[in-house]
Structure 1
């Protein structure tokens, strides 16, 4: 007999959504201006993977 408390439940993909970055945090993380960070966040929204890629392209 299995113990229901030990079972791991995987969340459906729709429930695993990412929130967009905060502008100041994102700018500091990638060492870019807040204006650039805001533009990237507006363009890519909650897609953090693509936002990080874009920031790496312009970072100093």
Structure 2
């Protein structure tokens, strides 16, 4: 039996990237208000790519 760690999926990492952002983390990441972060997360849900785009647009 081999100890092949490359093929194992770590559930904690997978769960962290599948769901929507935490409001406080997202606000700090993009240097925006918590209210703006909450609005973006509600609008884009678990789509982190689109949420990040919206966060970058507001932070400019």
Task: Please list every run of 5 or more consecutive structure 1 residues that lacks an aligned counterpart in the other structure.
Answer: none
State the Cα RMSD in Å: 2.2
How big is the shift at 1:9?
Answer: 6.8
Counting only pairs closer than 5 Å after superposition, residues 38-53 of structure 1 correspond to structure 2 as 38-53=38-53
Distance in 2, matches of 1:31 and 1:38, equals 13
How big is the shift at 1:37?
Answer: 0.1
Task: Please list every run of 5 or more consecutive structure 2 residues that lacks an aligned counterpart in the other structure.
Answer: none
Q: Is the radius of gyration larger for structure 1 or structure 2?
A: 1
Greater share of helix residues, 1 or 2? Answer: 2
Distance in 2, matches of 1:55 and 1:45, equals 13
